[in-house]
A and B are shown apart, each in its own frame.
Chain A
Amino acid sequence: MAIFRPEDEARVRELFAKLERPVELLVAHGPEEEMAHVGARDIDFAAETERVVRELAELSPSVSVRVEEQPDGFDRYPAVSVQPEGRDVGVRYYGLPWGYELGSLIGAVLEAGRAESSLSAETLERLASLDRDLAIDVFVTPT
């Protein structure tokens, strides 16, 4: 099953056509957490994640995919790291990117593909004066 409806696919292609630099999506496979709810085991989350990411990458010559088994710097699996020009800048998606997370992953590819950040000048100034490391986790659900 395709991940996009034809009209959505066309829209994503259009957005990806504006990428100003290449973006690599690193898919990290490894041991997954046990899920308790019924039906969860029927889904191969790792395979589905890789399939979604490969389909995304097919929409633009600027987006590429790399798949690795338990690479350094990942807490859990499956995961996708969004890398501007193949550089790991600390952006991760943990879990199968569908529904809400798919939109968010596309947003991350667009941001990674920008030569300049889309954040406001004020935010960039505040980030530049940040004198400690910051880890931000956003918990979501598919719907």
Chain B
Amino acid sequence: MKMAFASPRVRASGIESSEFPALADRMEVYSVPRIVVDGVPQWDGSVPERVFVDRVLAPSFD
């Protein structure tokens, strides 16, 4: 969320899984928070800022 405020390149959404079950199913949400980047599920759980940034900016997303 903070990244979206800080960069015009970044959009961030918080999604209430129980209200959007079809979408949550597609993203295979079994445990929360589930982090999805560019429509691809990545990992579950809270991580420190530095780790979060490392993961979302990882070259594998190119």
Contacts and interface: CB of A to CB of B under 8 A. Distances in A.
Interface of A: 32-33, 35-37, 40, 45, 75-76, 84, 89-97, 101, 104-105, 107-108, 111-112, 117-120, 122-124, 126-128, 130, 132-142
Contacts of A105: 14
Contacts of B27: 137, 139
B37 A134 contact: yes
20 contacts: A89-B5, A89-B8, A91-B11, A92-B11, A93-B13, A108-B5, A120-B50, A122-B50, A127-B6, A127-B9, A127-B10, A133-B10, A135-B37, A135-B38, A136-B37, A137-B12, A137-B13, A137-B15, A138-B36, A141-B16
Contacts of A137: 12-13, 15, 27, 35-37, 39
Interface size class of B (residues with CB under 8 A): 35 or more
Given A32-B19, A132-B9, A139 B38 contact: no
Contacts of B12: 90-92, 135-138
Q: Give chain B's interface secondary structure class.
A: mixed
A94 B20 contact: yes
A138 B13 contact: yes
